[in-house]
Chain A
Amino acid sequence: MLKGLKWKLIIYAAIILFAILLVLPTVTSQLPSWYSKVIPTDKIHLGLDLQGGMHIVLEVEAEKAIESYVERIKNNIKDDLKDRGVPTGKVEREKRDQIVLEFSGEKEKVERLLSERYSIMHELSSSEIGGGIWRIALVLDSRQAEQVKKNALDQALETIRNRIDQFGVSEPEITVQGTEQILIQLPGIKDPERAKSLIGRTALLEFKLVDDEEDIETALKGVIPEGDIILYQRVVDPKTGGIKKTPYLLKEKTLMTGEVLKDARVALDSQFHEPYIALEFDDIGAKLFEQITGTNVKKRLAIILDDNVYSAPVIQERIAGGRAQITGRFTTDEANELAIILRAGALPAPVKIIEERTVGPSLGQDSIRQGIISILISAALIVLFLIFYYRGTGVIGDIALILNVVLVLGILSLLRATLTLPGIAGLVLSVGMAVDANILINERIKEELRWGKTIRAAIDQGYHRAFTTIIDSNITTVIAALFLYQFGTGPVRGFAVTLFWGIVANIFTAVFITRWMFDYLTLKVKIKKLSI
């Protein structure tokens, strides 16, 4: 029996020591540098509700990604048919993922072209609408559509990561949720509004030609010429806050997009010291830009971001070298933000913030403080209570409780679990429930002693009888905690985690460790009377 005692001591002590080592980083920061390499742990990870920060869930409007995709295919088909000399009428995108084309002439030739080069569009229907004109409707292959959606999500994830990287937040967490959502957690962020605007902008940079031949006034009245669209330039007057909208009549076709950007930097205008964005294109972009400017000298080229016209300067001459500027009454902050966004790239589809939870740092501090006070007071009261009610045995129970808390904190550290405010409540609650185990055992021992059993026998019976009850009663709370963990999110999950581990650790400390202490006292120290 004694030998068993020694072995158990070694094992228990090792476990507890390990837990203490895991918790140390949280308590003190003066540790040697090799510490974190040997013991796999950091400070306990605090939830956003305790350290302050922002949690947002974005929904990628993947449908729009499909629309753009099909739009591009439509443009390609149109150009292709024109190149092959097929007289075409309408070539339009209909609904989200369908293309309708009307042409006169050889149906087979067109169908062959479509199946050879555009096989991802399936033919939905074909009919002759009289006069030798055919009408074919195409729909995007569903698997391809899924692929486009998935790519949109992946690309959005990548782009947002880039943007946040440049924003400079420590330990951001960016993950995919489900098939259409992205979860972003930015702990300790000081300016949530800026972060949101940085993340949420689609930032599609486009270059389109201004249509100077048609009359903009008639267009504004409702008659927009074929192939043109109207976009606006929004200028906010910094003094009055008023918004002035200037319409531009543009040729719809996008000549170039931000895909070809190599770099975007903020620079200061030499004359007025106002910030502007200096763009640098990559090789493809540079060549394209040279071509565009070469063929359109004296025309105006509109620079558009997210369907807002920023400027529309006149092309004075062919521009080689791949550089351009975006000007537009920016503040330095706006310019910086724009540069970050342009550098990181455009989002493949618009994103919408569907959930946001932001906690300011001051509230976080308050919560931590309140949490710690609660733990300390509870612990103090319980410790006193146990000693008061069970005297010597109470001390044993107290030691077990303290070890219980240390173990739980160690487990949290090891699992890199997040501690939240409800999590602290869960810890406190589990400690309250932990006392139950001690009470069950001690009451049983008292009863056995009353019936005249010896100390050893009383202890044996006490543990034996109480054990099943302890397991039974704690299992139900464990079940509840498991379901809560599965279905809960955020701070509530933290509650489930601490409750669960609190109970598990409690069974270990209340049953095994106290048993060891009883055994030690009765076998080694050989006490004659139990102070209970």
Chain B
Amino acid sequence: MELIRPDTRYDFIGKKKFTVWISAIVLLVSFGSIIYHGGLRYGVDFAGGILLQIKFSKAVDIPEVRNAIDAMGSKDAMVQKFGGENEFLIRVEKSSEDLEAISRQIQASLQERFKGQTLEIRRAEVVGPKVGKDLRNKAIWATVLSFLAILVYVAIRFRQFSYGLGGIAALVHDILITFGAISLFDLEFSLPLLAVILTIIGFSINDTIVIFDRVRENIKKMRKEKLDTVFNVSINETLGRTILTSGTVMMVVLILFFFGGPVIHDFTTAMIIGLISGTYSTIYIASPVVLLWHNHITLKRKR
């Protein structure tokens, strides 16, 4: 069965003037969102504080829960619905004091207020300030080091500066967009989301390499053609594979999105955005960058 006919010659590269604008807009929106919100909404992992996931046996309205917590003096608590019926997420972002005591107080206060119900503490997380800072550092190291390691790998494999540059450009583009999506959809940036960022870094380059591989092969075969054409041909040839792979991975992530449960919901949402961006960037960021470099710099040198 053929999804893409073998002789398609869709002009991808030609569209790059148009897609540059799409990228620019999306990046702007991402940046804008992050700046507007003053950074990302950090989870307990990175910001420290308390997280409580509670479930009542009978129906309860959010305002009631909020009142109960306000009453005990914790004005900076955030309450939201989460997961199933009568389930809530309480977040207190305090960076000092005895967090354990506050957690206990909140639980006691809720038990007191909703005496007629069974209150179930589904999940509790308390992270002290030092631990939060520690994890933040680790997160930054992990991202920076993976980034560098992968770039070194691409440089070694492809030996051409422009390819490496194209790869970097695509990666940076994807990371920014993923962060933008996290900000835009108000996802909680916690450790699992860091996992998404790192996975997308790996996946984005994945994609890029497959196409560059093919380009390298075709350059040898198509010596007479312009590089633009070679790229187009390569992308077309690998189109079947690109769509199928991105398709299956996306399908799998969508299943996780719908069936995986609320705990990893933010994780799967970010993953979806990252995947879309990753596939798109290979065609419309990495390739144009290589072409740009080639056309303006390499060719100019030859003259």
* Main DSSP-derived SS at the A contact region: helix
Q: Establish whether residues A354 and B131, one from each chain, have CB atoms under 8 Å apart when the complex forms.
A: yes
Residue-wise, chain A 38-58 has the 8 Å CB interface mask toward B (1 for contact) of 000000000001000000010
Q: How far is the CA of A479 from the CA of B156 in the complex (A)?
A: 15
Which of B130, B150, B206, B237 counts the most chain A CB atoms within 10 A?
Answer: B206
Of the candidate stretches A18-26, A78-86, A158-166, A368-376, the one touching chain B is A368-376
Which of B195, B205, B240 counts the most chain A CB atoms within 10 A?
Answer: B195
Q: Establish whether residues A489 and B202, one from each chain, have CB atoms under 8 Å apart when the complex forms.
A: no
Q: Establish whether residues B252 and A429, one from each chain, have CB atoms under 8 Å apart when the complex forms.
A: yes
Which residues B92-145 have CB closer than 8 A to chain A?
A: 100, 103-104, 120-128, 130-131, 135, 138-139, 141-142, 145
Known: A362-B122, A374-B255, A425-B256. A473 touches B210 (CB 8 A): yes
Residues of A within 8 A of B210 (CB): 440, 469, 472-473
Q: Establish whether residues A354 and B130, one from each chain, have CB atoms under 8 Å apart when the complex forms.
A: yes
Of the candidate stretches B30-38, B179-187, B243-251, the one touching chain A is B243-251
Q: Establish whether residues A356 and B126, one from each chain, have CB atoms under 8 Å apart when the complex forms.
A: yes
Known: A422-B195, A439-B244. A432 touches B157 (CB 8 A): no
- Identify 13 residue pairs between A and B in the complex whose beta-carbon atoms are under 8 Å apart, listed by A's number: A192-B124, A355-B126, A356-B103, A357-B124, A366-B261, A378-B252, A390-B1, A425-B264, A443-B240, A473-B210, A477-B206, A483-B145, A496-B195
Q: Establish whether residues A196 and B199, one from each chain, have CB atoms under 8 Å apart when the complex forms.
A: no
Seed contacts A358-B121, A360-B122; 17 additional CB < 8 Å A-B pairs: A359-B123, A360-B120, A360-B121, A360-B123, A362-B120, A373-B259, A378-B251, A382-B252, A429-B249, A432-B251, A439-B245, A440-B241, A473-B210, A476-B150, A479-B150, A487-B138, A496-B195
Residues of A within 8 A of B141 (CB): 487
Tell me, yes or no, whether A108 is within 8 Å of chain B by CB.
no
Q: Establish whether residues A425 and B248, one from each chain, have CB atoms under 8 Å apart when the complex forms.
A: no
Q: How far is the CA of A390 from the CA of B205 in the complex (A)?
A: 26
> Which among A354, A473, A474, A488 is the interface contact of B195 at CB below 8 angstroms?
A488
Q: How far is the CA of A370 from the CA of B141 in the complex (A)?
A: 32
- Residue in B closest to A465 when the chains form the complex, CB atoms: B217
Residue-wise, chain B 189-209 has the 8 Å CB interface mask toward A (1 for contact) of 001101100110111011101
Q: Establish whether residues B206 and A49, one from each chain, have CB atoms under 8 Å apart when the complex forms.
A: no
In angstroms, how far is the closest chain B Cβ from the Cβ of A513?
Answer: 19
Chain A: number of interface residues, binned into ranges: 35 or more
Residues of A within 8 A of B73 (CB): none
Known: A355-B127, A367-B261. A480 touches B201 (CB 8 A): yes
Q: How far is the CA of A516 from the CA of B237 in the complex (A)?
A: 27
> Which among B150, B241, B268 is the interface contact of A443 at CB below 8 angstroms?
B241
Tell me, yes or no, whether B213 is within 8 Å of chain A by CB.
yes
Residues of B within 8 A of A477 (CB): 199, 202-203, 206
Q: Establish whether residues B53 and A492, one from each chain, have CB atoms under 8 Å apart when the complex forms.
A: no
Q: Establish whether residues A499 and B126, one from each chain, have CB atoms under 8 Å apart when the complex forms.
A: no
Which residues A441-500 have CB closer than 8 A to chain B?
A: 443, 447, 450, 468-469, 472-481, 483-484, 486-492, 495-496, 499
In angstroms, how far is the closest chain A Cβ from the Cβ of B298?
Answer: 24
> Which 8 A-B pairs give the minimum distances between C-beta atoms?
A477-B202, A432-B252, A480-B202, A354-B128, A370-B261, A487-B142, A432-B249, A356-B126
- Residue in B closest to A56 when the chains form the complex, CB atoms: B126
Q: Establish whether residues A356 and B263, one from each chain, have CB atoms under 8 Å apart when the complex forms.
A: no
Number of contacting residues on B, CB 8 A?
65
Which of A388, A443, A496 counts the most chain B CB atoms within 10 A?
Answer: A443
Interfacial residues, chain B to chain A (CB-CB below 8 A):
1, 3, 6, 53, 55, 100, 103-104, 120-128, 130-131, 135, 138-139, 141-142, 145-146, 149-150, 153, 157, 191-192, 194-195, 198-199, 201-203, 205-207, 209-210, 213, 237, 240-241, 244-245, 248-249, 251-253, 255-256, 259-261, 263-264, 267-268, 271
Q: How far is the CA of A79 from the CA of B267 in the complex (A)?
A: 64
Residues of A within 8 A of B205 (CB): 473, 476
In angstroms, how far is the closest chain B Cβ from the Cβ of A200?
Answer: 8
Interfacial residues, chain A to chain B (CB-CB below 8 A):
49, 57, 59, 192-193, 196, 352-360, 362-363, 366-367, 370-371, 373-374, 377-378, 381-382, 385, 388-391, 421-422, 425, 428-429, 431-433, 435-436, 439-440, 443, 447, 450, 468-469, 472-481, 483-484, 486-492, 495-496, 499
Which of B55, B126, B150, B260 counts the most chain A CB atoms within 10 A?
Answer: B260
Q: Establish whether residues B198 and A480, one from each chain, have CB atoms under 8 Å apart when the complex forms.
A: yes
Q: How far is the CA of A49 from the CA of B201 in the complex (A)?
A: 26
Q: How far is the CA of A456 from the CA of B120 in the complex (A)?
A: 63
> Which among A363, A433, A476 is the interface contact of B249 at CB below 8 angstroms?
A433
Residues of B within 8 A of A377 (CB): 255, 259
Q: Establish whether residues B146 and A483, one from each chain, have CB atoms under 8 Å apart when the complex forms.
A: yes
Known: A377-B259, A390-B1. A483 touches B124 (CB 8 A): no
Q: How far is the CA of A395 from the CA of B197 in the complex (A)?
A: 33
Q: How far is the CA of A425 from the CA of B253 in the complex (A)?
A: 8
Residues of B within 8 A of A390 (CB): 1
Q: Establish whether residues A436 and B245, one from each chain, have CB atoms under 8 Å apart when the complex forms.
A: yes
Q: How far is the CA of A389 from the CA of B122 in the complex (A)?
A: 43
> Which among A193, A355, A468 is the interface contact of B131 at CB below 8 angstroms?
A355
> Which among A389, A425, A432, A469 is the interface contact of B1 at CB below 8 angstroms?
A389
Known: A57-B131, A363-B53. A370 touches B192 (CB 8 A): no
Residues of A within 8 A of B55 (CB): 362
Q: How far is the CA of A359 from the CA of B267 in the complex (A)?
A: 18
In angstroms, how far is the closest chain A Cβ from the Cβ of B51?
Answer: 9
Q: Establish whether residues A370 and B259, one from each chain, have CB atoms under 8 Å apart when the complex forms.
A: yes
- Residue in A closest to B250 when the chains form the complex, CB atoms: A432
In angstroms, how far is the closest chain A Cβ from the Cβ of B262?
Answer: 9
Q: How far is the CA of A153 from the CA of B116 in the complex (A)?
A: 44
Residues of B within 8 A of A473 (CB): 205-207, 209-210
Q: Establish whether residues A479 and B153, one from each chain, have CB atoms under 8 Å apart when the complex forms.
A: yes
Q: Establish whether residues A422 and B192, one from each chain, have CB atoms under 8 Å apart when the complex forms.
A: yes
Q: How far is the CA of A385 from the CA of B55 in the complex (A)?
A: 39
Q: Establish whether residues A484 and B195, one from each chain, have CB atoms under 8 Å apart when the complex forms.
A: yes
Which of A49, A360, A431 counts the most chain B CB atoms within 10 A?
Answer: A360
Residues of B within 8 A of A480 (CB): 146, 150, 198-199, 201-202
> Which among B195, B206, B252 is the interface contact of A495 at CB below 8 angstroms?
B195
Q: Establish whether residues B264 and A435, one from each chain, have CB atoms under 8 Å apart when the complex forms.
A: no
> Which among A196, A432, A479 is the interface contact of B100 at CB below 8 angstroms?
A196
Residues of A within 8 A of B237 (CB): 447
Q: How far is the CA of A484 from the CA of B195 in the complex (A)?
A: 7
Q: Establish whether residues B263 and A421, one from each chain, have CB atoms under 8 Å apart when the complex forms.
A: yes
- Residue in B closest to A388 when the chains form the complex, CB atoms: B1
Q: Establish whether residues B202 and A476, one from each chain, have CB atoms under 8 Å apart when the complex forms.
A: yes
Q: Establish whether residues B104 and A193, one from each chain, have CB atoms under 8 Å apart when the complex forms.
A: yes
Q: Establish whether residues A367 and B263, one from each chain, have CB atoms under 8 Å apart when the complex forms.
A: yes
